[in-house]
Amino acid sequence: MADSRLQALSRLARIKPGEDWITALLKLAAESLGARTAYLSSLDKGTKGQAQLIAWDAGAPGEPLDYLLKDTPCEEVLARGELFLDSGLCARFPADVWLAERGECAFMGRRLQTLDGETLGVLGVLNPDELRASDPDLRALFDVFASMTEMQLERVALLERVDGVPRALDPRLRDPQGSRTGATTIIVFDADQRVRQVLSRALIADGHEPVMVDSPDQLLRISKQFTPGVALVDTQFPCGDLDRLISCLREASPEVRVLLLAGDAKLSASQVAALGADSVLRKPFKPDELHEAIEALIDPAKATS
């Protein structure tokens, strides 16, 4: 399970933010979790109690579906936050005719929210046979897919607010302005999970491709698998020497630019250089400060012009 989970996370990190991200994510979720169907249910803001469903179903994109939430698994997920059933799905929701017609048995679902607590919808998987929905490893993997979906939905919402152009989530409704080219892969190594989540969402909003890691070993392993343009490295990681870690990071990925995220430590330019890093950003920092620091590393000429 550990190997398959790592493979799934590696493939998930390669999904590029663009017009087909939802298709790629739902397909990978269904395959990785051993389910026939993975779907994103987004709330219809114009009609109370109704949602729009986009699915990867039985090996292909499913038809978009508008449906009522009452007496459905999605209604319970929105109320409780999550729902995991190994079996017995139709018996629990007898009024849901769509489930009965499909003969669904097992379910995993998580409410999707913004950092401010606004509800975005539901990520769910369905299967006609029993599913190990109560397995901690499978649930942890599902949570990763849910977090990535939240980040991407927030990114879409941010883009809509910036330029006023609506982005349709149905991947067959092409939106050439919904994707960005030239995205930079950025590895984020910070000991604080909450900080990693905030950084990830800020980077996605800027059009980059963040990859989250939480240990030095994972940082070096992922750096070899991907070609990161920038690495954000917490100076307060729990073990090892920072200069040795950065040296190993550059061996794994010679072209990477290293931005240190410093908490209490006040590092001078000479100290940053001695550690082998390119720059430093003092915590706490604002999103625009992060943006400027990364842009300075990606395109120094543009930053100084």
Q: What is the mean pLDDT of the chain?
A: 79
Q: State whether 37 and 99 are in the same domain.
A: yes
User: Which of 130, 163, 196 lies at the terminal end of a domain, its last residue?
Assistant: 163
What share of the chain has pLDDT > 90, as a percent? Answer: 25
At residue 178, the pLDDT reads 34
List the single range of 28-32, 119-123, 182-186 with lowest mean pLDDT. Answer: 182-186
189 or 17, which is more confident: 189
Q: Is residue 98 part of a domain?
A: yes
Both 220 and 158 in one domain: the answer is no
Are 95 and 200 in a shared domain? no
pTM: 0.54
Say if residue 240 is in the same domain as residue 282: yes
Cα 76 to Cα 70: distance, rounded to the nearest angstrom: 9
Whether 175 has a pLDDT exceeding 80, the answer reads no
Who wins on pLDDT, 181 or 264? 264
Domain of residue 243 covers 182-304
- Which of 34-38, 101-105, 169-173, 275-279 shows the lowest mean pLDDT across its residues? 169-173
12/116 same-domain check? yes
Give the pLDDT confidence score for residue 85 in this predicted structure: 95
d(CA 185, CA 226): 8
> How many percent of the chain have pLDDT more than 70?
78
Q: Which residue has the higher pLDDT, 268 or 87?
A: 87
> What is the 8-class DSSP label of residue 133?
T
| pLDDT for the residue numbered 39 | 93
Residue 240 reports pLDDT greater than 70: no
Are 228 and 249 within 8 A, CB to CB?
A: no
- Structural domain count of the chain: 2
Q: What is the pLDDT of residues 252-275, one digit of tens each?
A: 888 899 999 987 667 888 888 988
The DSSP secondary structure of 70-94, one letter per residue, reads TTSHHHHHHHHSEEEESS-HHHH-T
What's the confidence (pLDDT) of residue 163?
42
pLDDT digits (tens, 9 = 90+) for 14-61: 665 554 778 888 998 999 899 999 999 887 554 467 777 888 999 998
Answer whether residue 171 is part of any domain. Answer: no
- Quick one: pLDDT at residue 176? 29
Q: Is 203 left (phi over 0), alpha (psi -120 to 50) or beta?
A: alpha
Same domain? For 152 and 27 the reply is: yes
Question: Is 33 in the same domain as 157?
Answer: yes
pLDDT of residue 94: 93
The pLDDT score that the predictor gives to residue 198 is 80
The pLDDT value given to residue 136: 86
Residues 141 and 191 in one domain: no
CATH of the domain at 7: 3.30.450.40
Q: Can you tell me the distance from the alpha carbon of 259 to that of 230, in angstroms, rounded to the nearest whole number?
A: 7
Mean pLDDT along residues 201-208: 78
Tell me, what's the pLDDT at 166? 46
Residue 176 falls inside a structural domain: no
**Taking phi first (over 0 means left), then psi (-120 to 50 degrees means alpha), and beta for anything else, what does residue 161 get?**
alpha
Alpha-carbon distance values, 98 to 18, 56, 73, 110 (Å):
31, 16, 11, 20
pLDDT band at 170; cut points 50, 70, 90: very low
Q: Assess whether pLDDT exceeds 70 at residue 285.
A: yes
- Predicted confidence at residue 180, as pLDDT, reads 38
Q: Give 196 or 41, the one with higher predicted confidence.
A: 41
- With 50 as the cut, is the pLDDT of residue 217 above it? yes
